[in-house]
Amino acid sequence: MNSHRDNPDPASPAAARWLARASFLAVLATAAVLLVFAGLDTLTLLIAAVGTIAIVIVALYWFLSARGVVRWVSLAALIVAPLVFLGLLVRASLLWVVLASIVLLMISGICARSALRRDNAAAAMPERGASPPEHAFLVMNPRSGGGKVGKFDLKKRAEALGAEVALLDGHGIVDVAALTRDAVERGADLLGVAGGDGTQALVAGIAAEHDLPYLVISAGTRNHFAGDLGLDLDDPAKCLDALVDGTEIRVDLGEIDGRTFVNNASFGAYAEVVQSPEYRDDKRGTMLRMLPDLIGNHRGAGLRVRAGNMTIDNPQAVLISNGPYETRDLAGLGHRPRIDCGVLGMVTISVDSTRDALGLLRRTRQRGLTQHTIDAVVIEADAPEIPVGVDGEALVFPTPVRCTIKPGALRVLVPRERPGIHRPRTRVDWVRLRELSVPGCMRR
């Protein structure tokens, strides 16, 4: 297992500078190859290449966003256009020139990404030492995650480490909040949950209220919160290592009308997916299958989003998250690189048809999409109450609904050694690359 820390190489600044230079040199070499060996044919070659790329982009868009005959005609264009361009290259004896140029551009891209990765590697969330708890209180749901509590013998392992475990295996509904508050009154100095994110959020709110450290055990189905903390999702028992060798990090909590959420709150079509009976068994599949049609044919309450000086009228779907998700994640199914930045993430979708919604999810279009970071938002509606999905739980809230962020509210105890958090792909920033390659342009 790799350490959770993501410390950069001490030689990273110098390495980034030389990689940036190599990236620019590869671009210059590409231009030289085209000019020297293609000569006067360079302009014709470029026009043909641009035309082919334009045809491919348009065909790909229609293939992804259309259905029926149009989709298959687009597929044919996707295949035929590159073949025609290849034939022209062979006839003009320029194939090797193009292949060499492609290789040089690939080298440029690899060097650019490596340089920026070293330069802009996201720092790990700050950690501090922590003493082992003396009276840990853990809530465990044996039904979560297909029975992971029993499969990994979590109750027995936790008790062997001195923790008190409340197993939610009885009949009827258990008041987890009352159970947890009673443990706090009896002197619990750590609270934790082995279960789904809904239960995680409930107990995390109580831990934050009393400024107690909190332990996340990845025994749910999707374990979004645990994944963003860098915990082991394959073996939840390893999360218990924090009880004897842990380190503490401070993370944010979202709040919706006084209720805590650790991941997100969803409105409109998003919330309709969460209300579906199939959602609990297959969250990702149900979201991707249902969301385009629900957005395109949404007939629920009309929504209005107010955040600061911004107002968005009649979005079909709104997702408010505890920290922003990666830019390409419109459904809240991926990861948040950090959850300690003190802001909410907000995604809204406003489209006219199912095809447009499908285009947004497949990233073939941008119109109708907004993505922002905010510290508070109010969701208004033309109905007295609306369905809301809160950390995957289907709920109903009276309107208007207010979401806020509580920066650094939760002290999370995590194992000193854990797999680590997911990092977003590095985007190529040529302005920053120029600054890296020329010492006089280096930022301070």
Residues 345 and 373 occupy one common structural domain? yes
Range among 102-116, 124-138, 294-308, 402-416 with highest mean pLDDT value: 402-416
Residues 117 and 136 occupy one common structural domain? no
Q: Is the peptide bond before 315 cis (omega within 30 degrees of 0)?
A: no
So what's the pLDDT on residue 180? 95
Residue 428 has pLDDT above 80, yes or no: no
Compute the average pLDDT of residues 272-279: 60
- 313 assigned to some structural domain: yes
pLDDT in tens, 299-316: 667 899 999 899 999 888
Residues 248 and 320 occupy one common structural domain? no
Residues 209 and 341 occupy one common structural domain? no
- 438 assigned to some structural domain: no
So what's the pLDDT on residue 279? 52
Residue 285 has pLDDT above 70, yes or no: no
So what's the pLDDT on residue 210? 96
Q: What is the domain extent for residue 325?
A: 264-407
Residues 363 and 344 occupy one common structural domain? yes
Residues 244 and 275 occupy one common structural domain? no
Compute the average pLDDT of residues 423-442: 59
Name which residue leads in pLDDT, 138 or 334.
138
Residue 209 has pLDDT above 90, yes or no: yes
The pTM of the full predicted model, rounded to 2 decimals, is 0.66
Name which residue leads in pLDDT, 39 or 241.
241
Residue 19 has pLDDT above 90, yes or no: no
Name beta bridge partners: 321: 264, 345
Residue 104 has pLDDT above 50, yes or no: yes
Residue 430 sits at φ, ψ, to 5 deg, of: -70, -30
So what's the pLDDT on residue 3? 36
Domain count, the chain: 3
So what's the pLDDT on residue 54? 87
Instruction: Look over the chain and give the mean of its residue pLDDT values, rounded to a whole number.
Output: 80
Starting from the edge strand earliest in sequence, which strands make up the sheet with 385-390, in order?
369-374, 344-349, 317-321, 264-268, 385-390, 393-398
Compute the average pLDDT of residues 280-303: 60
So what's the pLDDT on residue 295? 60
- 432 assigned to some structural domain: no
Residue 301 sits at φ, ψ, to 5 deg, of: -60, 145
Residue 178: CATH number of its domain: 3.40.50.10330
**Which segment of 40-44, 125-129, 252-256, 279-283 scores lowest on mean pLDDT?**
279-283
Last residue of a domain, one of 94, 121, 148: 121
What is each CA distance from 26 to 102, 133, 429, in whole angstroms? Answer: 10, 56, 16
Residues 168 and 242 occupy one common structural domain? yes
So what's the pLDDT on residue 365? 55
- 52 assigned to some structural domain: yes
Residue 328 has pLDDT above 70, yes or no: no
Residues 228 and 286 occupy one common structural domain? no
So what's the pLDDT on residue 90? 75
Compute the average pLDDT of residues 86-94: 75
Q: Tokens for 379? A: 């969701």
Residues 297 and 395 occupy one common structural domain? yes
Last residue of a domain, one of 67, 96, 121: 121
- Distance, CA of 166 to CA of 150 (rounded, Å): 14
Helix (H) or strand (E) holding 406: strand 401-415
Residue 36 has pLDDT above 80, yes or no: no
- 430 assigned to some structural domain: no
CA angle 303, 305, 307 (to 5 degrees): 170
Residues 286 and 192 occupy one common structural domain? no
pLDDT in tens, 144-191: 888 999 999 999 999 999 999 999 887 767 889 999 999 999 999 999
- 233 assigned to some structural domain: yes
Last residue of a domain, one of 74, 105, 121: 121
Q: Tokens for 186? A: 């009896």
pLDDT in tens, 333-378: 567 878 999 999 998 887 666 666 665 565 555 676 788 899 999 9
- Distance, CA of 315 to CA of 368 (rounded, Å): 9
- 7 assigned to some structural domain: no
Residues 282 and 376 occupy one common structural domain? yes
- 281 assigned to some structural domain: yes
Residues 110 and 212 occupy one common structural domain? no
Residue 375: CATH number of its domain: 2.60.200.40
Residue 243 has pLDDT above 70, yes or no: yes
